[in-house]
Amino acid sequence: MEIRTLRYFLAVAREENMTRAAELLHVTQPTLSRALRSLEEELGKKLFTRHSFHISLTEEGMLLRQRAEDLLSMADKIEKEFYSLDDVSGGELFLGLAESCQIRYLARELKSLKRSCPALRYHITSGDTEQVTEKLDRGLLDFAVLCEEPDARKYDSLLFPERDIWGLILPEDDALAKKESICAADLAGLPLFTSAQGWEGDIRRWAGEDFDRLHLEGSFRLAYNASLFVREGLGYQLSFDHLVDTSPGSGLTFRPLEPRAEVRLYLIWNKYQTFTPIAARFARQLRASFGRAGDR
């Protein structure tokens, strides 16, 4: 199975049309058709269902699409890594990030590295712990940022300098906005929005015996999207401070939870990982900058 053939396959899967895919790939349609027939013969499975005006994937085709995207992401990363081995002015960094205002510290370190390595390019994906660690474990990322303590058996880590504070985001004219802080009893029966990870982790621990009185109206991976639902009066959002605009005039406000709920942020990478030169340099820089973070 050739990398080129997998690229052909993904192009057709995305376009759902042989002609458009051939144009994008700059190959003839007969060439593309032969490559895909050979792929189906090699795997012994039918990958496409041909319709009058489009092509759709079979169940086997959908499975191959998932695997092919991973394989090609890895192939592209390997290619970029080898191109950058002798590039003293830059290279490629791949990072998976949780949501936190502390990401600004990482941005500052990238800015500093960029000054001495002007050809540096970085690729950022966002997600929860499960999403980013899965990509890290598959070698698709150099570093990941988590808002929960990592498995020390698998990862090396550094602490970010500050702590994230959990609170409630709500309309500024809501009755609860008159309170200086929010306890679990205040939230009983209210429609709440937060991430699935936060709900089952930090919020469950914070609420304790009152957790069963809380109602998760909807789960969100991105805090900004959840805040739009709050603006529309659909519920209340449990989130870290500073992730969405709650400044005067924004229509929203933030109230910390009581008792106070804090979270540490971790930068992680695989133990015994072989870094590219630019990733190794970035790791050294981060150690020097974040090394005393745990004492703050």
pLDDT digits (tens, 9 = 90+) for 179-199: 999 999 999 999 999 999 999
pLDDT of 185 reads: 96
191, 234 in Cβ contact below 8 A?
yes
- 3-state SS, 172-240, equals CCCHHHHCCCECHHHHCCCEEEECHHHHHHHHHHHHHHHHHHCEEEEECCCHHHHHHHHHCCCCEEEEE
Q: How many other C-beta atoms can be found within 10 angstroms of the C-beta atom of residue 165? A: 17
Q: Has residue 295 got a pLDDT over 50?
A: no
Q: Has residue 87 got a pLDDT over 60?
A: no
Q: How many other C-beta atoms can be found within 10 angstroms of the C-beta atom of residue 2? A: 11
d(CA 144, CA 98): 8
Mean pLDDT, residues 45-63: 85
Q: Has residue 22 got a pLDDT over 60?
A: yes
Pairing of strands 262-270, 155-171: antiparallel
For residue 84, name the pLDDT band (cuts at 50, 70, 90).
low
216, 170 in Cβ contact below 8 A?
no
pLDDT of 178 reads: 96
Please report, as a single letter, which amino acid is at residue 34. Answer: R
